[in-house]
Amino acid sequence: RGARRRRRAVSGTPGRAAAWGAAAAAGFLFCLPIVTHTSLPYGSDLGFASHSGLGFVQALAEGVLYPRWVDNTNMGFGGPTFIFYCPLAYYLLGAAHALTGDLISAFRLALVIVSVLTALSFFAAARPLTSRWGAVLGAAVYTLAPYHALDLYDRFAYAELASFIWFPPLFLFTRRLLAGRSPGAWLGLTLCYAGLLFTHLVTAYMVLFVLAPYGLLHAARGRRWGRLLPAAGAGAAALLLAAVFLIPMLAQRDEVHMEWVVDAPYGDWRRNFVYRDEVAHGYTPANIKPWVNRAATTQGGLALAAILVLAARGAWRRRGGGGELATDEAAWEAAAHAGLAAWTFFLQIPPSAWIWRLVPELPTVQFPWRFSLFQALAAAFLAACAVAPVAGGSAPVSRLPRWAAAPLAALRGGRGPALAALLIGVAAVPSLLLTARIATKPDRPYMFNADALGDARVRHRVMDEYLPRDMEGWRAFAAAPVTLGVPARFSGPGTVQVEAWTTHRRELLLETPVDDRLLVRTFHHPGWKAWLDGEPVPIDADNPLHAITVAVPAGRHELRLAFGATPDRRLGATISLAALATILASAAALRLRRRQVG
Helix (H) or strand (E) holding 385: helix 372-386
Find the length of the chain. Answer: 598
Confidence (pLDDT) at 221: 76
- C-alpha to C-alpha distance for 341 and 324, rounded to whole angstroms: 21
Considering only residues 482 and 197, tell me which one the structure prediction assigns the higher pLDDT: 197
What's the rounded mean pLDDT across residues 105-111? 97
Res. 403 pLDDT band, cuts 50 70 90: very low
Res. 9 pLDDT band, cuts 50 70 90: very low
- C-alpha to C-alpha distance for 286 and 539, rounded to whole angstroms: 43
At 45-74, the pLDDT tens digits run: 999 999 999 999 999 999 999 999 999 999
- C-alpha to C-alpha distance for 422 and 83, rounded to whole angstroms: 48
The dihedral sign for the CA sequence 361, 155, 141, 438: positive
What's the rounded mean pLDDT across residues 570-589? 92
- C-alpha to C-alpha distance for 23 and 280, rounded to whole angstroms: 43
Res. 505 pLDDT band, cuts 50 70 90: very high
Confidence (pLDDT) at 334: 86
Q: Which of 466, 507, 478, 364 is nearest to 81 (CA)?
A: 466
Instruction: Show Cβ contacts of residue 454 under 8 Å, excluding neighbours closer than 6 positions.
Output: none
> What are the DSSP calls for 263-303, one per residue?
HSGGG-GGG-STT--TGGGT-PPPTTHHHHHHHHHHHHHHH
At 370-383, the pLDDT tens digits run: 999 999 999 999 99
Res. 319 pLDDT band, cuts 50 70 90: very low
- Is residue 412 predicted with pLDDT exceeding 90? no
At 421-463, the pLDDT tens digits run: 888 888 999 999 999 999 999 888 999 998 998 888 888 999 9
- Is residue 485 predicted with pLDDT exceeding 60? yes
- The Cα-based distances of 174 to 182, 255, 329, 438, 465 in angstroms read 10, 37, 14, 33, 35
Res. 388 pLDDT band, cuts 50 70 90: confident
Confidence (pLDDT) at 490: 94
Please, how many CA atoms are within 13 Å of residue 165, restricted to the half-sphere of its CB? 25
- C-alpha to C-alpha distance for 7 and 129, rounded to whole angstroms: 15
- The Cα-based distances of 462 to 42, 342, 357, 407, 491 in angstroms read 18, 39, 30, 60, 25
A 10 A CB-CB count for 252 gives 20
Considering only residues 151 and 406, tell me which one the structure prediction assigns the higher pLDDT: 151
Confidence (pLDDT) at 397: 46
Res. 226 pLDDT band, cuts 50 70 90: confident
- C-alpha to C-alpha distance for 242 and 576, rounded to whole angstroms: 6
- Is residue 13 predicted with pLDDT exceeding 90? no
Res. 571 pLDDT band, cuts 50 70 90: very high
- Is residue 401 predicted with pLDDT exceeding 90? no
Confidence (pLDDT) at 317: 54
Res. 385 pLDDT band, cuts 50 70 90: confident
At 330-351, the pLDDT tens digits run: 778 888 999 999 999 999 999 9
Are the CB atoms for 485 and 103 separated by under 8 Å?
Answer: no
What's the rounded mean pLDDT across residues 465-477? 92
Confidence (pLDDT) at 133: 86
Are the CB atoms for 252 and 80 separated by under 8 Å?
Answer: yes
Q: Which of 540, 561, 546 is nearest to 496 (CA)?
A: 561
Confidence (pLDDT) at 14: 57
- Is residue 548 predicted with pLDDT exceeding 50? yes
